[in-house]
Homo-oligomer: A and B are copies of this chain.
Amino acid sequence: MFSSTQNTIIAVATPLGVGAIAMIRVSGKDAFSITQKIWKSKKNLLTQVPNTLLVGTIIDQENTPIDEVVLSIFHAPHSFTGDNTIEISCHASPYIVQKILTLLVENGAKLAQAGEFTRRAYLNGRVDLAQAEAIADVIASENENAHKIAFQQMRGGFSKQIKKMREDFIKLAGLLELELDFAEEDVEFANRGEIQKQVHQLSQNISDLANSYQLGKVLKNGFPVAIVGKPNAGKSTLLNALLAEDKAIVSPIAGTTRDSIEDETTIKGIKFRFVDTAGLRQTDDIVENIGIARTKEKMQASALILYLFDVSEFTPDVLLKNLLEIEQYNVPILLVANKIDIADKNAIHYFENFEEKYQKQIIFLSAHTQHNLENLQNKLADYVQMQPLHQNQTIITNTRHYACLQDTLKALEQVKKSLDQKFSTEMVATDMREVIYQLGTITGEITNNDLLEFIFTKFCIGK
């Protein structure tokens, strides 16, 4: 449970471990007076100008100096939480950090729960709920794309969109509510056709946002790519080359890989999750057959299939036949001609013709020597960036937001139905209120305590 917002809360905001500096955050109405009690300096903390730095000493009850520190002074409402805040930068000694926390508690501060600072920021109106959730994502972001999406959300891009939609919808609903006030006079302030048009447009927008969730999830967790091909096409060698490590066991014996081996790597700021699969062939080996069945599952779950073949052994006819088999999974396919280091020129030439004829681009490379590996990496990055939803569109990554959007869509469907069936004004108004309610839960204009607890306890302490 979070403590009362009347309390002054404290926590170490920097990671624990060995370093030069640690930062302890003190926030709440008594932040200044509590810190003043363990503070010794020529300068009075209580009369200090906001947004300034103070150098001085933290002392204990016996006036023993504990550390020389720098204080950052933020006055309400111009702080992260919106409350009076002091950030104490001390030496990152475990002893000192613990001692300062203890002294602050002894003088009336409470240790903060995970996410409690951000929760205060939300309660004080410094950020809305979706922004608050994005802060956790910004901190957790490990690559350029994840960061970009989270940062945009933290800045409120997504929230603004939702708020705008909600406000527009409130106006529309307002007209309907007005009709209710004048129910006896049988007037129509809100044109039903106009409402239908707007409900349709909103459904479209909400639906686009909800659809972006799949891509958002993919960009956050890694774009899933299945590496598929006949036994001994060089799939494991390619996986190792892409990961720049020896993850998969490689041998000249066909059928070496039985389990699906998965790992992620970042290419041009995009996180990919590659799955090396068992080679597709008829076999009596039971374990290998389980592997092949799993390969088929993995292909269906992936966003892109890399179909790898040995250019020194394959013919365009065989390739075509195999492609027909793979295409049934309805996943985009990228063709990769491997082993150009040992294939003769004629073989490669055949496939170049194939490329023209079927208008399917083939990437020629050697996974073994890593020749042209970069071409594949560029192609992969380009492919993700070409995704329709990826260009300056809002992408959502948060499961809670996705669920809220789905609920909004359901409510909109109900509005449509009521309008189509010419239900009473009162019933339509009730359905519209549900849409407004659902949109409000995303940014936190509609909220309850359980939800807040659920959201903020997923944060790290000190944020």
A117 to chain B, nearest CB (A): 7
Determine whether the beta carbon of A91 is less than 8 Å from that of B138: yes
User: Which chain B residues border A462 with CB–CB below 8 Å?
Assistant: 19-21
Give the contacting residue for A463; candidates B20, B138, B147, B154; CB below 8 A.
B20
Q: Are B21 and A14 in contact (CB under 8 A)?
A: yes
Whether, in the assembled complex, A413 has its beta carbon less than 8 Å from a beta carbon of chain B, the answer is: no
Instruction: Decide if B13 touches A15 in the complex (CB within 8 Å).
Output: no
Of A92-100, A243-251, A435-443, which binds chain B?
A92-100
From A118, which residue of chain B is reached at the shortest CB distance?
B20
Across the interface, do A15 and B23 meet the contact criterion of CB distance under 8 Å? no
Write out the residue numbers on chain B whose beta carbons fall within 8 Å of the beta carbon of A30: none
Closest chain B residue to A80 by CB distance? Answer: B70
For the side of the interface on A, what is the size category? 35 or more
Copies in the complex: 2
**C-alpha spacing A53/B85, complex, angstroms:** 13
Chain B nearest CB from A70 CB (Å) reads 7
Given A17-B17, A52-B51, the answer on whether A89 and B147 have CB atoms closer than 8 Å is no
A155 touches B (CB below 8 Å): yes
In the assembled complex, which residues on chain B have CB atoms less than 8 Å from the CB atom of A332?
Answer: none
Q: Is A142 an interface residue (CB 8 A)?
A: yes
Contact between chains at B95 and A74 (CB < 8 Å) = no
Is there a chain B Cβ closer than 8 Å to A460's Cβ? yes
Interface residues of A (CB under 8 A from B): 12-23, 25, 51-54, 64-68, 70, 72-74, 87, 89, 91-96, 99, 117, 135, 138-144, 146-148, 151, 154-155, 460-463
What are 21 A-B contacts defined by CB distance under 8 Å?
A13-B20, A13-B21, A15-B92, A16-B19, A18-B139, A19-B460, A21-B23, A21-B462, A51-B52, A52-B53, A53-B73, A64-B148, A65-B151, A68-B154, A92-B139, A93-B138, A93-B142, A95-B144, A95-B146, A95-B147, A99-B147
A-B pairs, 9 with minimum CB distance:
A15-B17, A15-B19, A20-B463, A14-B14, A20-B462, A13-B21, A13-B20, A51-B53, A15-B15
